[in-house]
Amino acid sequence: MIRRVLIANRGEIALRIVRACRDVGCESIVASSVVDRDSLPARSATRTVVIGPARASESYLRPELIIHAALATGCDAVHPGYGFLSEQAALADLCRENGLIFIGPAPEILRRLGDKVTAREAANAVGIPVPPGAIVRSAEEADSRAAEIGYPIILKATAGGGGRGIRVLYDREALQNSFAIAANEAQSAFGDGRLHIERYVQGARHVEIQVLGDGFGNVVDLGERECSLQFNYQKVLEEAPCTALSAEQRRTICDAAVGLLKSLGYVGAATVEFLWDPARGAYYFLEVNPRVQVEHPVTEVITGIDIVAEQIRVASGDRLSFDRTSLNFCGHAIQCRINAQSPRHRLRPSPGRIEKWSIPAGPSVRVDSHCEPGYLVPPYYDSLLAKIIAWGPNRDLAIRRMSRALEELVVEGAGIDTNIALHKAILNEPKFRQGEVSTTWLNEYLESPAWTGRIRDESAKASSPRAELGRAPVTAERG
């Protein structure tokens, strides 16, 4: 069994991994940047090692610092969390070369899944439908391919992921205008300027399958999550199960995901993402995320399986603690991502110091967060403050409990703003209540009078942009 894990991450996921380490009985070393040295995850771990300055490119994104810290502190494994180096084969390679266990798949698999083209080939090889598409090397080639495929099309950076480097284009002109910019962006953001073009499925739902595999050939799905509520391809609210799937459709997609990962000999946690076209009853492969995901608690809550603990277990060479027949799916779960974002400014990041911090509790509510009163949300990293997860025996009760939890949640501080108001609004939207939102719904909703009017009213009540979150308004500066 792994004895000591180096956690190459920060924020709520670092704390989540520290907790899993405690539960399975191993020690945790958090490799942190200098601004995170006193954070809750750093204090909760067995030890923290400050590996570099605040800027991620000089700390969290440096594989050699992470490996050095792991070796120098006697760790036998490295958990990369999500984001940062979690999908970089370079870290997995270095782990292997230095006799450390990488808590994730083999570097060869990371390379194969990290490239849109080889990932599509792997899916295609096991009979999973992939949307028609191809790599395009020039604007001319993109033009002729798009004509074959038919608009709208989606233009993606081949090496992109996690919703970054994506453009939906509705006509030829838009494609001609975007191609060069997209190629440049892909080159600078991912170090790979190749672009991929695919048919864009309109009205689709984002459905993903959580899978775990061990070194004994067991690959088991833990059902699906629906993550259609996205703003600019960033997930905002996730839930399970998906309201759009019949039992038979669910079985088909889950089996497809398991078949794909079995064909790769996958060990560890992975999520296979699909687009579900409710109009045609068809599903299409999107990508595989070869790591733990932000929304994994939704699945944990309805299955009772600790996904992070299972990751550590299978990385240690043990078997999964369960099999498909022993899994019990129970009720419905929703997760709201609470971000330091300003709803009044198209959800732009809004970091600052948290002065008041009070999190919800009560029956069937779980909170995963690294925040606390007095915490300074650093401007260097992503804006996730907390994940609130609510469970209910059915979707209605899960929504009501989530509403109750959001009412209890208090985040106040100078300069800081959050998307709590947006979550409250979403939970009250008839379209969401009916379980009928597609991946474009939230972007449209943020432009709708229902939302802009709500924001205007709230701004009018507050004395200033900073006053909304509970500071007593004195005079109205803006209307």
Active centre residues (catalytic): 291
Question: In whole angstroms, how far apart are CA 428 and each of 39, 402, 419, 421, 425?
Answer: 35, 11, 15, 11, 5
Tell me if 349 contacts other proteins by CB under 8 A: yes
59: left (phi over 0), alpha (psi -120 to 50) or beta: alpha
Tokens of 272: 């296979």
State the nearest-atom distance from the C-beta of 290 to other proteins, in Å.
Answer: 24
Show the binding pattern over residues 451-470: x = contacts other proteins (CB under 8 A), - = does not: -------------x-x----
The binder of other proteins chosen from 251, 280, 319, 353 (CB under 8 A): 353
Nearer to other proteins, 3 or 280 (CB): 3
Applying the rule CB under 8 A, the residues between 30 and 49 that interact with other proteins are 33-35, 37-38, 43, 46-49
Nearer to other proteins, 183 or 385 (CB): 385
**Binding of other proteins by 339 (CB under 8 A):** no
Distance of closest approach, residue 351 Cβ to other proteins, in angstroms: 5
Query: Are 289 and 266 in contact, with CB atoms under 8 Å apart?
Result: no
Q: Which is nearer to other proteins, 68 or 433 (CB)?
A: 68
Strand (E) or helix (H) holding 272: strand 268-277
Q: Which two tokens stand for residue 386?
A: 């907390």
Choice between 50 and 410, CB closer to other proteins: 50
Q: Is 279 exposed, middle or buried (0-12, 13-18, 19+ CB in 10 A)?
A: exposed
3-state secondary structure of 72: helix
**Rounded to whole angstroms, how far apart are CA atoms 132 and 151?**
12
Rounded Cα distance between 392 and 58, Å, is 43
Binding of residue 72 to other proteins (CB under 8 A):
yes
- Closest by CA position to 135, among listed 201, 199, 200, 198: 198
Q: CB under 8 A: which stretch of 63-71, 76-84, 178-186, 359-367 binds other proteins?
A: 63-71
The only residue of 7, 18, 20, 52 in contact with other proteins, by rule CB under 8 A: 52
In angstroms, the CA 182 to CA 159 distance is 12
CB of 415 to other proteins, least distance (A): 6
Residues in the interface with other proteins (CB under 8 A) total: 39
Residue 68 interacts with other proteins (CB under 8 A): yes or no: yes
Say whether 30 sits in a helix, a strand or coil.
strand
Q: Could you say whether residue 59 binds other proteins (CB under 8 A)?
A: yes
Q: How far is the CB of 379 from other proteins (least distance, A)?
A: 4
Closer Cβ to other proteins, 414 or 450, answer by number? 414
Enumerate the H helices of 265-295 as residue ranges. none
Cα separation, 135 vs 158, whole angstroms:
8
Give yes or no for a cis peptide into 152 (omega within 30° of 0).
yes
C-beta of 111 vs 471, nearer to other proteins: 471
Chain contacts with other proteins (rule: CB under 8 A):
27, 29, 33-35, 37-38, 43, 46-54, 59, 64-65, 67-69, 72-74, 94, 349-353, 376, 378-379, 414-415, 464, 466
